[in-house]
C-alpha cells in the first residue's frame, strides 16, 4: 500500500502520456473521432475511526496510512451498522482496505473469522501478502492462509482449525470446502465476514453458478448457527446493487463514490482510415494499434494492449516483437499474456511487469482483473471490448501512480465498433452495462441442489432457489442419488457431485497442449472444451508468445493435442457452421407477413475447415478440412420468419431474399446485443429453415448459399418450400435468460436495426452494417444492403 | 427483467397466444428435454425391519438400528493364528505401551462411498473387544437414515474412556468419517480423544517392499493364511445397502455383514501376528531393516543390533550398512570392517567411504585410507579428503 498524501507526483522530465496524446492528435487528427479529458482529482479524506483497535491503528500508521479515503470510511460505517456492502470504485482506489479494516478489527477484538473469495489464485496470493505486511507492521498475530488446490495436505488442517482469514476461490469453495464442511465446523461457527472481490466478473454463466455456491454457503452457515456479513467489491457496472443482491440473496448497501485521488487521463476514440471508399473497407485496427504501440514504446512509455482473441494477441505480439525484440541477446521488451499459458509463465510475466522489465504487454481480458502489474502509462484497446463497463475496466489499467495516462480505443470494422466510434457521445455518455445472472437457470440450479443435498439432507419446507425445490428433489430421487425418508431427502450414492460440476461452463474437460518437438512430451498450454474445435484441429497453427506450433494430432477423447514447433509464415483461421432445429415455441406473435416466436431450440455447431493466411500480406494461401465431432446443445432462442408469398412479392428471386436474410441477421445480432446490454458472444445468430433441413452461410463468392446437414451445397431454387428463419439464440446450454427479454423488445430491436443499416455511409453494404461484401456485388442488381433493409422492414410489418 | 419462470407462467396464462406444441408444464418435462435420459421411478416397498433382524440373526434395538452380536472363544483359530496369542501381551510393537487386552477396541466400518465428505454415511459399524476369554463382536447396522443418531449413541455406549482403538486405515478413513457423522447428527463423538493404533502403518513398514499392496485382505491371506470363501467385495457395499433402502431388497445384506465381520476378526488376529513380525521378522518375511529402524527410533539400539545380527543372511546392502553402523557405535571394529570390506569389494561406495574414514581417523593408516579414498567418485568432499590425506602422508 502506498502512502496517501494529497500532493500529486511531480511531472517527470521525460515524455509522459500527455506528450503522446498531443503527438497523435497532431499527426492523425482525421482518425480521432472523440476525445475525453478527465482532469486530475484530489483525494477526500476522513480520520481513522476512533473505535479502531489500537494495535491495528498502529500497524496502519506504520505502513503510512494515517487517514482513510471517504469511501473507506463509509464502508467502515456500513459494516458497523451490520449491513451487507458493495463497494464500486475504480482500480487503485484502495478498495482492499474497505474490507481488511473491519475484518482485521473483528479478528483482533473477538477472534472473528473471515472467508475471502477471489476469482483467481494470483489475486489470493497478493492479498495474503498484504495482510502479512500489516501483521508484521503491528505484530497483530492475525492468521491469514490461502486454501486452494496448491495447499499441501498437511497444511490443510492448520488452515481449517487455526486460520482467522481463509483466502480461497469459488471453485475451491465449491469442491473442496463445502462438501467437507464438518472439518471446518470451528471455522463456520465463528464466521462473521465473507469478502467477495471482483464481483463484476460473476456474470453470465459463471455468475449464475456463483450465486448458487453462495446459496449453499449460507445454508451451511445456518447449520452452524452463523450469519456472516457480506462485503463485495466491484468495478463499475450499471447495477452493482442488484447484482450483489442477486448473488448473495440478501439486501446490500452500495458505495459508489471514490474518495481516492486520480491522475489526469485522456481517452481517444480512433477510427482507422478508409482505404476503399466504394466497398467501405478501412485499414485494420491491428495496423493502427501496432503503430500507436510503437510510438509509445519508442517514447519510453509503458503500455498495455488488449485484444479480443488469443489469436489476435499472438499476431500483435509477433508484429511488435519483429520491431523491438530482434536481438535475442537482450531480454524481450514485449510480452504476451493470455489464458492458455501455464500459470507459472503468467506469474513470471506479472513479476516482470511489476519490476518494470517489460515495455509493452499484449493481452486478452485475462489481465483485466486486479493483479498488480505496476505502473502503466498507455492502454490501447484493439477493438471495442463489447461492453462499456469492460472498456473502462481495461482503460483503468493505465495510470496508477498519479501520472497522466492515455487510453486509445481503436475501432475495428465490426458494426458495434463503428457505431461506437462514429457516435462518440453515445459511448462517452453511456452508462456501463447491466451484469446479468440467472441463478435459477434450470440446469445450473439442479446441479447445485444436487451438491447441496450431498452436503446436508434436505428437509421438507426448505427453500433453495426460485424453482419448486420438491420437484427438483423428486427428479434427483428418480436419478437414484437421493432417498426420501419421511420429510427428509438423504444422499445415498457413492458419487461426489461437486467434481462433475464446473463453475465456468458445460463441464466437458479441458484440453492440454503437448509439445513433442524434441522427442519428449511437455504440457505447454491448456484450452477449454468449447474453444478446442476452433483452435486445436490437426493442421492448426497454435501460438504461444507468438512462437508457432503446428497441431499434428488431436486425441479428442483423451483431451490432448500434440504439437510441434514450426516455422510457418502463415496463421490459420477456422470456419464454423451452425444449424438449428426448433423444438418448442413457448410464445409467439403472428405478424401480417410472417411470425416471430421464442422457445427452445437444438443447435449443432460444426467446424468444417480452415483458411491459411500469410502474415503481413494477409493473402489466403490455402484451405484445409477439419473432421471433428459436432458440438450440440439445447438452448433458448428468438426467431423471425416471413411468409413465402410475401417474399415472392418483395424479391425478384430466392437468392436475393436469402442474401437479405443473412445481412439482416448480421445487423440484428449486433443491435440485439447492444440492446440486451450483453456481449455479442453471449448471443448467437443463424439463418436456417427451422427444421434443420438447411442452413445458410455466406459463401466464398459473397453470396448466400444453402447447405444441408452434411455441409453439401444445395440449390436455392431447388427447394420445395422456402421459409428462411432468422435465429438469435442464447449461446449457453439451457439458455441464460436473454431470449425472453429479447422477444419482449423485438419491436425496438427491429426498428433500431433499420436505423443502423439506413444510417450507414456505405453504398452497397459493409462490415459496419450488413457484413463485408465483394467488389462484384455492385453488379448484382440488388445490393446486399437493400435486400437486408427490405427484409427487416417486412419483419417490422404493421407499424 | 422478469425471471424466466414468472414469464413462462404469465405466457401460459394468456389465452390464444403461446400455443405450446408439445411438452408438459411440469418441471420434469422441462428437465427431461434438457437432459434426455431414460429413468424410471423407484417404487418404494414397505420395509420390515424386525424381519430383517431375524434373518440376519440379530435384534432390532431401536427404529432403524439392528444389532448383530457374536462371540467366540480365544481358544479358536483364525486362519493359522490361534487367538490366545493375544493373551501373551503386546509389548514389542511400536507405539504400544502398557496396553491391556480388555481395553482394546477393534473397529471397522462399511460406508456408502469412499470420497469422504458430508454425503457419505456409515451404515455398518463393527466393534469388537475381549471380555474374559471371549472375543465379542458387535455390528450395528443402519436400516434407515433416520436411525443414525441412535446408532451412534448406542455404539458409543460400548466405548470405554480408557479404550485404545485398533483399526486398519482407520486414521485416515473410518475415524474422520465417524467424526463427520457425529457432527452432522449432533451426537458427541465417543472416539475423538482415544489413542489409536492403526495396523496399516505397521504392515506397510514391514511389507511394502515385498507386497504389491498392503490391503487388509492381502495381509489376511499372507500373514494369517485365512482365505475367504464367497466373499462380497467391499466395493459392493454401497449398492447393497442402497438396494435395501430404496427397494427393501435385503438379498446381499447378509454378505456385507459377514464381510465386515471377517474384517474385524482378521484385524484382531493381525495384532499378535504383527507383534511376532517385530520380534522375529525372519519368520514371516518382514523387512528386517525397517523393523530395526523402528527400534532405533525408540532408542532400542541393542535390540536393533541383535535383530540385524540374527537375520544377517536376509539383509541387503543397506541392511548390512546399518548393521555396520551399529557395530561402529558399539566400537566393535572388526565386525564393522568385515562388512565394509565385503561391500567395498562389490563396489559399494558408502562402504568405501566408511573404510576411508576408519583408516584415517581410527587406524591412522593413511596409506590405506588414501587407497580407499582415491577409488571414490570425484566430488568436492572426496577431493578434499584426498588432499588432506596427501598432506598427512607428506608429514
Strand partners, B107: B127
pLDDT in tens, B285-343: 888 888 888 888 888 888 888 888 888 888 888 889 999 999 998 889 899 999 998 98
**Arithmetic mean of pLDDT, B123-150:** 95
Give residue B40's pLDDT band: very low, low, confident or very high (50, 70, 90): very low
pLDDT in tens, B79-91: 999 998 888 877 7
Contact B146 A438 (CB under 8 A): no
Put simply, the chain A residues between 415 and 444 with a CB less than 8 A from any chain B CB are 436, 438, 440-443
* Chain B partners within 8 Å of A491 (Cβ): 119
* Gap between the Cα atoms of B357 and A659, Å rounded: 92
* Gap between the Cα atoms of A665 and A680, Å rounded: 13
* Gap between the Cα atoms of A764 and A773, Å rounded: 8
A474 touching B (Cβ < 8 Å): yes
Taking a C-beta distance cutoff of 8 angstroms, is the pair A707, A694 a contact? yes
- The pLDDT, as a whole number, for residue B179 is 95
Picking from A439, A491, A636 by the largest number of B CB atoms within 10 A of its own CB, the best residue to mutate is A491
B17 touching A (Cβ < 8 Å): yes
pLDDT in tens, B232-271: 888 889 999 999 998 889 999 999 999 999 999 999 999 9
- The pLDDT, as a whole number, for residue B190 is 95
A585 touching B (Cβ < 8 Å): yes
- The pLDDT, as a whole number, for residue B7 is 34
pLDDT in tens, A187-229: 999 999 999 998 988 877 788 899 999 999 999 999 999 999 9
**Interface predicted TM-score (ipTM) of this complex, two decimals:** 0.79
Contact A443 B34 (CB under 8 A): yes
Q: Of A267 and A781, which is predicted with more confidence?
A: A267
Q: B376 and B326, same structural domain?
A: yes
- The pLDDT, as a whole number, for residue A547 is 77
B249 is a domain residue: yes
Nearest of B343, B392, B395 to residue B363 by alpha carbon: B392
Least confident window among A285-289, A762-766, B153-157:
A762-766
**Arithmetic mean of pLDDT, A769-785:** 65
- Looking up cell 465476514 gives A193
Contact A483 B1 (CB under 8 A): no
Contact A182 B238 (CB under 8 A): no
Neighbours of A82 (CB within 10 A): 8
Put simply, the chain A residues between 514 and 543 with a CB less than 8 A from any chain B CB are none
Query: Nearest 5 degrees, angle CA B349-CA B354-CA B360?
Result: 125
Picking from A460, A582, A740, A743 by the largest number of B CB atoms within 10 A of its own CB, the best residue to mutate is A740
Is pLDDT at A440 greater than 80 in this prediction? Answer: yes
- The pLDDT, as a whole number, for residue A339 is 66
Closest chain A C-alpha to B40 CA, distance in angstroms: 6
Q: B63 and B190, same structural domain?
A: yes
Contact B118 A490 (CB under 8 A): no
> What is the separation of C-alpha B291 from the centre of its chain, rounded to a whole number of angstroms?
18
B303 is a domain residue: no
**Arithmetic mean of pLDDT, B382-392:** 86
Q: What is the CA radius of gyration of chain A?
A: 28
Nearest of A413, A511, A286, A448 to residue A771 by alpha carbon: A413
B295 is a domain residue: no
- The pLDDT, as a whole number, for residue B8 is 30
Contact A442 B113 (CB under 8 A): no
- The pLDDT, as a whole number, for residue A617 is 65
Looking at residue B342, which CATH number applies to its domain?
1.25.40
* Chain A partners within 8 Å of B19 (Cβ): 585, 588
Which residue in the set A455, A483, A737 is minimally distant from B145, CB to CB? A483
- The pLDDT, as a whole number, for residue B120 is 93
Look at residues B254, B279, B304 and tell me which one is the last residue of a structural domain: B279
pLDDT in tens, A50-105: 999 999 999 988 888 889 999 999 999 999 999 999 999 876 678 889 999 999 99
Contact A588 B18 (CB under 8 A): yes
pLDDT in tens, A325-362: 888 888 888 888 876 677 677 778 877 887 788 889 99
* Chain A partners within 8 Å of B21 (Cβ): 584-585
- The pLDDT, as a whole number, for residue A366 is 66
Q: B111 and B251, same structural domain?
A: yes
- The pLDDT, as a whole number, for residue A6 is 29
Put simply, the chain B residues between 220 and 239 with a CB less than 8 A from any chain A CB are 238
Contact A488 B17 (CB under 8 A): no
- The pLDDT, as a whole number, for residue A778 is 52
Do β-strands A165-168 and A113-117 pair in parallel, antiparallel, or remain unpaired?
parallel
Contact A587 B18 (CB under 8 A): yes
> If you measure CA to CA, which chain A residue comes closest to B22?
A584
Which residue in the set A471, A588, A634 is minimally distant from B27, CB to CB? A471
Give residue A640's pLDDT band: very low, low, confident or very high (50, 70, 90): very high
Nearest of A671, A701, A684 to residue A579 by alpha carbon: A684
B15 touching A (Cβ < 8 Å): no
Contact A183 B39 (CB under 8 A): no
Q: Of A679 and A451, which is predicted with more confidence?
A: A451
Is pLDDT at B15 greater than 80 in this prediction? Answer: no
Closest chain B C-alpha to A640 CA, distance in angstroms: 15
Contact A180 B117 (CB under 8 A): yes
Q: Which three cell numbers stand for residue A188?
A: 463456520
Q: B6 and B54, same structural domain?
A: no
- The pLDDT, as a whole number, for residue A210 is 95
* Chain A partners within 8 Å of B242 (Cβ): 480, 483, 492-493
Strand extents, DSSP E, B93-158: 104-111, 122-131, 134-142
Number of separate domains in chain B: 3
Q: B336 and B194, same structural domain?
A: no
- The pLDDT, as a whole number, for residue A685 is 87
- If you ran DSSP here, which 8-state letter would residue B87 be given? G
Q: B245 and B105, same structural domain?
A: yes
Give residue B6's pLDDT band: very low, low, confident or very high (50, 70, 90): very low
- The pLDDT, as a whole number, for residue A679 is 64
Contact B180 A183 (CB under 8 A): yes
Taking a C-beta distance cutoff of 8 angstroms, is the pair A449, A465 a contact? yes
B307 is a domain residue: no
Is pLDDT at A645 greater than 60 in this prediction? Answer: yes
A623 touching B (Cβ < 8 Å): no
Is pLDDT at A615 greater than 80 in this prediction? Answer: no
- The pLDDT, as a whole number, for residue B22 is 29
What's the whole-number average pLDDT of chain B? 84
- The pLDDT, as a whole number, for residue A467 is 81
> If you measure CA to CA, which chain A residue comes closest to B29?
A475
Closest chain B C-alpha to A202 CA, distance in angstroms: 18
* Gap between the Cα atoms of B256 and B74, Å rounded: 24
B290 is a domain residue: no
* Chain A partners within 8 Å of B241 (Cβ): 492
* Chain A partners within 8 Å of B120 (Cβ): 494
Is pLDDT at B177 greater than 70 in this prediction? Answer: yes
Least confident window among A82-91, A295-304, A781-790:
A781-790
* Gap between the Cα atoms of A465 and A444, Å rounded: 11
Nearest of A499, A473, A502, A634 to residue A212 by alpha carbon: A502
* Gap between the Cα atoms of A175 and A501, Å rounded: 9
Q: B274 and B176, same structural domain?
A: yes
Contact B113 A494 (CB under 8 A): yes
Give residue A370's pLDDT band: very low, low, confident or very high (50, 70, 90): low
Is pLDDT at A8 greater than 50 in this prediction? Answer: no
Q: B271 and B143, same structural domain?
A: yes
Cβ-based neighbours of A50, under 8 Å, separated by 6 or more = none
- The pLDDT, as a whole number, for residue A593 is 75
Q: B367 and B226, same structural domain?
A: no
SS (H, E, C) A124-155: HHHHHHHHHHHHHHHCCCCCEEECCCCCCHHH
**Arithmetic mean of pLDDT, A626-637:** 83
Q: How many CB pairs under 8 A join A and B?
A: 133
Domain membership of residue B6 as a residue range: 2-34
Picking from A185, A203, A238, A442 by the largest number of B CB atoms within 10 A of its own CB, the best residue to mutate is A442
Taking a C-beta distance cutoff of 8 angstroms, is the pair A416, A22 a contact? no
* Chain A partners within 8 Å of B26 (Cβ): 471
Which residue in the set B18, B116, B120 is minimally distant from A586, CB to CB? B18
Which residue in the set A454, A466, A737 is minimally distant from B117, CB to CB? A454
* Gap between the Cα atoms of A22 and A288, Å rounded: 17
* Chain A partners within 8 Å of B8 (Cβ): 586
Picking from B27, B44, B117 by the largest number of A CB atoms within 10 A of its own CB, the best residue to mutate is B117
Q: Which three cell numbers stand for residue B102?
A: 480388555
Q: How far is the first Cα of chain A from the last one, in angstroms, to the nearest whole number?
A: 60
pLDDT in tens, A218-242: 999 999 999 999 999 988 777 899 9
Strand partners, B140: B67, B125
Taking a C-beta distance cutoff of 8 angstroms, is the pair B169, B202 a contact? no
B304 is a domain residue: no
Least confident window among A211-225, A481-495, A496-510, B260-274:
A496-510
Nearest of A8, A16, A36 to residue A420 by alpha carbon: A36
Closest chain B C-alpha to A180 CA, distance in angstroms: 4
pLDDT in tens, B182-196: 999 999 999 998 999
Closest chain A C-alpha to B183 CA, distance in angstroms: 7
Is pLDDT at A703 greater than 80 in this prediction? Answer: no
Give residue A434's pLDDT band: very low, low, confident or very high (50, 70, 90): low
Give residue B215's pLDDT band: very low, low, confident or very high (50, 70, 90): very high
Q: What is the CA radius of gyration of chain B?
A: 32
B347 touching A (Cβ < 8 Å): no
The dihedral over CA atoms of A307, A309, A313, A318, expressed in degrees to the nearest 10, equals: -130
Contact B180 A182 (CB under 8 A): yes
B242 is a domain residue: yes
- pTM, full prediction: 0.76
pLDDT in tens, B106-126: 999 999 998 888 999 999 999
Which residue in the set B40, B179, B245 is minimally distant from A492, CB to CB? B245
Give residue A689's pLDDT band: very low, low, confident or very high (50, 70, 90): confident
- The pLDDT, as a whole number, for residue B28 is 62
**Arithmetic mean of pLDDT, B138-163:** 94
Q: B30 and B78, same structural domain?
A: no
**Arithmetic mean of pLDDT, A374-391:** 83
Helix (H) or strand (E) holding A561: strand A560-565
B372 is a domain residue: yes
**Arithmetic mean of pLDDT, A490-513:** 76
**Arithmetic mean of pLDDT, A357-384:** 80
Q: B247 and B187, same structural domain?
A: yes
A447 touching B (Cβ < 8 Å): no
B145 touching A (Cβ < 8 Å): yes
Looking at residue B206, which CATH number applies to its domain?
3.30.420.10
Q: B91 and B11, same structural domain?
A: no
pLDDT in tens, A563-606: 999 888 888 878 777 788 888 888 888 877 788 999 988 888 88
* Chain B partners within 8 Å of A471 (Cβ): 26-28
Amino acid at each position: 500500500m502506498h502512502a496517501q498524501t494529497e500532493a500529486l507526483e511531480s511531472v517527470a522530465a521525460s515524455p509522459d502520456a500527455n506528450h503522446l496524446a498531443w503527438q497523435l492528435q497532431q499527426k492523425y487528427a482525421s482518425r480521432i473521432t472523440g476525445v475525453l479529458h478527465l482532469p486530475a482529482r484530489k483525494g477526500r479524506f476522513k480520520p481513522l475511526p476512533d473505535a479502531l483497535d489500537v494495535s491495528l491503528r498502529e500497524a496502519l500508521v506504520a505502513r503510512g496510512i494515517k487517514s482513510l479515503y471517504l469511501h473507506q470510511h463509509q464502508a467502515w460505517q456500513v459494516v458497523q451498522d451490520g449491513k451487507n456492502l458493495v463497494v464500486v470504485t475504480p482500480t487503485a482506489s484502495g478498495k482492499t482496505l474497505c474490507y481488511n479494516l473491519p475484518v482485521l478489527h473483528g479478528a483482533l477484538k473477538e477472534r472473528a473469522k473471515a472467508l475471502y473469495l477471489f476469482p483467481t489464485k494470483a489475486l489470493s496470493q497478493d492479498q495474503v501478502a498484504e495482510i502479512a505486511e500489516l501483521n508484521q507492521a503491528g505484530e497483530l498475530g492475525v492468521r491469514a492462509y490461502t486454501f486452494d488446490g496448491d495447499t499441501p495436505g498437511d497444511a490443510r488442517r492448520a488452515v481449517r482449525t487455526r486460520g482467522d482469514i481463509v483466502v480461497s476461490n469459488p471453485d475451491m469453495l465449491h469442491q473442496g470446502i463445502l462438501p467437507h464442511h464438518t472439518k471446518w465446523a470451528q471455522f463456520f461457527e465463528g464466521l462473521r465476514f465473507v469478502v467477495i472481490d471482483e464481483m463484476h466478473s460473476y456474470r453470465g454463466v459463471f455468475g449464475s453458478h456463483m450465486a448458487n455456491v453462495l446459496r449453499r454457503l449460507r445454508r451451511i452457515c445456518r447449520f452452524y448457527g452463523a450469519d456472516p456479513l457480506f462485503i463485495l467489491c466491484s468495478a463499475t457496472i450499471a447495477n452493482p446493487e442488484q447484482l450483489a443482491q442477486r448473488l448473495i440473496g440478501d439486501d446490500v448497501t452500495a458505495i459508489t463514490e471514490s474518495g481516492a485521488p486520480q491522475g489526469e487521463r485522456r481517452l481517444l476514440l480512433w477510427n482507422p482510415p478508409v482505404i476503399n471508399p466504394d466497398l467501405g473497407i478501412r485499414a485494420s485496427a491491428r495496423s493502427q494499434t501496432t503503430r500507436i504501440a510503437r510510438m509509445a514504446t519508442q517514447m519510453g512509455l509503458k503500455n498495455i494492449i488488449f485484444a479480443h482473441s488469443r489469436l489476435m494477441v499472438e499476431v500483435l505480439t509477433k508484429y511488435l516483437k519483429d520491431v523491438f525484440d530482434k536481438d535475442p541477446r537482450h531480454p524481450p521488451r514485449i510480452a504476451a499474456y493470455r489464458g492458455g499459458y501455464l500459470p507459472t509463465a503468467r506469474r513470471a510475466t506479472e513479476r516482470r511487469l511489476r519490476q518494470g522489465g517489460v515495455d509493452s504487454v499484449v493481452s486478452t481480458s485475462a489481465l483485466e482483473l486486479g493483479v498488480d502489474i505496476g505502473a502503466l502509462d498507455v492502454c490501447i484497446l484493439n477493438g471495442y471490448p463489447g461492453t462499456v463497463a469492460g472498456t473502462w475496466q481495461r482503460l483503468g489499467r493505465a495510470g496508477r501512480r498519479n501520472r497522466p495516462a492515455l487510453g486509445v480505443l481503436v475501432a475495428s470494422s465490426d458494426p458495434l465498433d463503428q457505431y461506437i466510434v462514429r457516435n462518440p457521445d453515445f459511448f462517452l455518455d453511456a452508462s456501463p452495462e447491466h451484469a446479468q445472472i440467472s441463478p435459477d437457470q434450470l440446469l445450473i440450479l439442479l446441479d447445485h441442489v444436487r451438491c447441496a443435498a450431498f452436503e446436508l439432507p434436505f428437509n421438507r419446507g426448505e427453500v433453495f432457489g426460485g424453482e419448486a425445490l420438491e420437484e427438483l428433489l423428486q427428479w434427483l430421487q428418480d436419478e437414484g442419488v437421493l432417498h426420501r425418508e419421511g420429510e427428509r431427502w438423504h444422499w445415498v450414492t457413492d458419487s461426489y457431485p461437486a467434481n462433475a460440476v464446473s463453475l465456468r461452463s458445460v463441464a466437458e474437460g479441458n484440453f492440454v497442449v503437448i509439445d513433442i518437438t524434441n522427442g519428449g512430451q511437455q504440457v505447454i498450454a491448456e484450452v477449454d472444451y468449447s474453444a478446442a474445435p476452433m483452435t486445436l484441429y490437426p493442421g492448426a497453427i497454435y501460438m504461444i508468445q507468438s512462437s508457432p506450433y503446428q497441431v499434428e494430432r488431436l486425441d479428442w477423447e483423451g483431451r490432448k493435442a500434440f504439437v510441434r514447433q514450426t516455422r510457418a509464415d502463415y496463421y490459420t483461421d477456422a470456419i464454423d457452421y451452425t444449424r438449428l432445429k426448433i423444438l418448442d415455441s413457448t410464445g409467439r406473435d403472428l405478424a401480417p407477413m410472417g411470425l416471430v416466436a421464442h422457445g427452445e431450440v437444438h443447435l449443432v455447431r460444426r467446424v468444417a475447415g480452415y483458411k491459411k493466411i500469410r502474415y503481413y500480406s494477409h493473402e489466403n494461401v490455402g484451405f484445409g478440412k477439419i473432421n471433428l465431432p459436432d458440438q450440440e446443445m439445447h438452448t433458448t432462442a428468438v426467431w423471425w420468419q416471413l411468409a413465402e408469398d410475401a417474399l415472392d412479392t418483395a424479391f425478384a428471386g430466392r437468392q436475393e431474399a436469402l442474401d437479405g436474410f443473412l445481412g439482416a441477421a448480421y445487423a440484428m445480432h449486433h443491435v440485439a446485443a447492444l440492446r440486451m446490454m450483453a456481449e455479442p458472444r453471449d448471443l448467437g445468430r443463424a439463418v436456417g429453415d427451422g427444421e434443420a433441413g438447411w442452413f445458410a452461410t455466406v459463401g466464398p463468392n459473397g453470396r448466400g448459399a444453402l447447405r444441408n446437414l452434411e455441409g453439401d451445397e444445395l440449390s436455392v431454387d431447388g427447394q420445395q418450400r422456402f421459409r428462411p428463419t432468422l435465429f438469435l439464440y442464447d449461446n449457453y446450454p439451457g439458455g441464460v435468460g436473454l431470449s425472453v427479454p429479447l422477444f419482449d423488445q423485438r419491436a425496438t430491436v427491429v426498428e433500431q436495426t433499420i436505423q443502423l443499416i439506413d444510417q450507414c455511409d456505405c453504398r452497397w453494404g459493409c462490415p459496419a452494417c450488413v457484413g463485408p461484401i465483394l467488389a462484384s456485388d455492385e453488379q448484382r442488381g440488388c445490393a446486399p444492403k437493400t435486400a437486408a433493409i427490405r427484409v427487416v422492414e417486412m419483419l417490422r410489418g404493421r407499424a | 427483467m422478469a425471471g424466466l419462470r414468472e414469464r413462462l407462467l404469465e405466457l401460459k396464462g394468456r389465452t390464444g397466444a403461446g400455443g405450446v406444441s408439445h411438452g408438459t408444464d411440469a418441471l420434469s418435462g422441462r428437465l427431461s428435454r434438457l437432459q434426455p435420459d431414460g429413468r424410471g421411478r423407484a417404487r418404494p416397498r414397505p420395509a420390515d425391519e424386525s424381519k430383517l433382524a431375524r434373518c440376519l440373526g440379530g435384534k432390532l434395538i431401536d427404529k432403524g438400528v439392528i444389532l448383530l452380536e457374536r462371540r467366540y472363544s480365544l481358544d479358536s483359530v483364525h486362519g493359522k493364528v490361534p487367538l490366545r496369542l493375544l493373551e501373551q501381551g503386546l509389548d514389542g510393537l511400536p507405539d504400544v505401551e502398557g496396553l491391556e487386552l480388555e481395553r482394546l477396541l477393534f473397529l471397522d466400518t462399511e460406508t456408502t462411498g469412499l470420497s469422504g465428505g458430508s454425503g457419505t454415511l456409515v451404515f455398518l459399524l463393527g466393534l469388537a473387544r475381549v471380555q474374559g476369554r471371549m472375543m465379542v463382536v458387535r455390528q450395528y447396522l443402519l436400516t434407515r437414515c433416520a436411525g443414525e443418531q441412535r446408532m451412534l449413541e448406542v455404539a458409543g455406549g460400548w466405548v470405554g474412556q480408557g479404550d485404545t482403538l485398533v483399526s486398519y486405515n482407520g486414521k485416515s478413513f473410518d475415524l474422520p468419517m465417524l467424526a463427520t457423522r457425529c457432527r452432522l447428527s449432533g451426537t458427541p463423538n465417543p472416539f475423538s480423544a482415544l489413542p489409536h493404533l492403526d495396523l496399516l502403518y505397521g504392515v506397510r513398514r514391514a511389507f511394502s517392499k515385498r507386497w504389491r499392496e498392503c490391503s487388509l485382505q492381502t495381509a489376511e491371506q499372507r500373514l494369517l493364511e485365512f482365505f475367504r470363501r464367497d466373499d462380497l467385495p467391499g466395493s459392493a457395499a454401497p449398492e447393497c445397502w442402497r438396494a435395501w433402502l430404496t427397494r427393501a431388497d435385503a438379498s446381499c445384506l447378509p454378505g456385507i455383514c459377514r464381510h465386515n465381520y471377517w474384517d474385524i476378526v482378521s484385524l484382531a488376529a493381525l495384532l499378535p501376528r504383527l507383534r511376532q513380525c517385530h520380534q522375529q521378522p525372519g519368520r514371516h518375511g518382514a523387512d528386517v531393516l525397517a523393523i530395526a529402524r523402528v527400534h532405533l527410533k525408540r532408542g532400542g539400539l541393542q535390540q536393533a543390533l541383535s535383530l540385524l545380527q540374527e537375520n544377517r543372511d536376509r539383509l541387503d546392502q543397506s541392511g548390512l550398512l546399518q548393521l555396520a553402523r551399529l557395530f561402529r557405535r558399539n566400537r566393535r571394529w572388526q565386525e564393522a570392517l568385515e562388512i565394509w570390506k565385503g561391500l567395498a569389494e562389490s563396489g559399494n561406495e558408502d562402504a568405501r567411504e566408511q573404510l576411508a574414514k576408519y583408516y584415517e581417523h581410527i587406524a591412522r593408516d593413511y596409506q590405506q585410507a588414501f587407497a580407499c579414498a582415491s577409488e571414490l567418485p570425484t566430488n568436492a568432499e572426496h577431493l578434499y579428503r584426498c588432499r588432506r590425506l596427501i598432506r598427512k602422508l607428506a608429514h
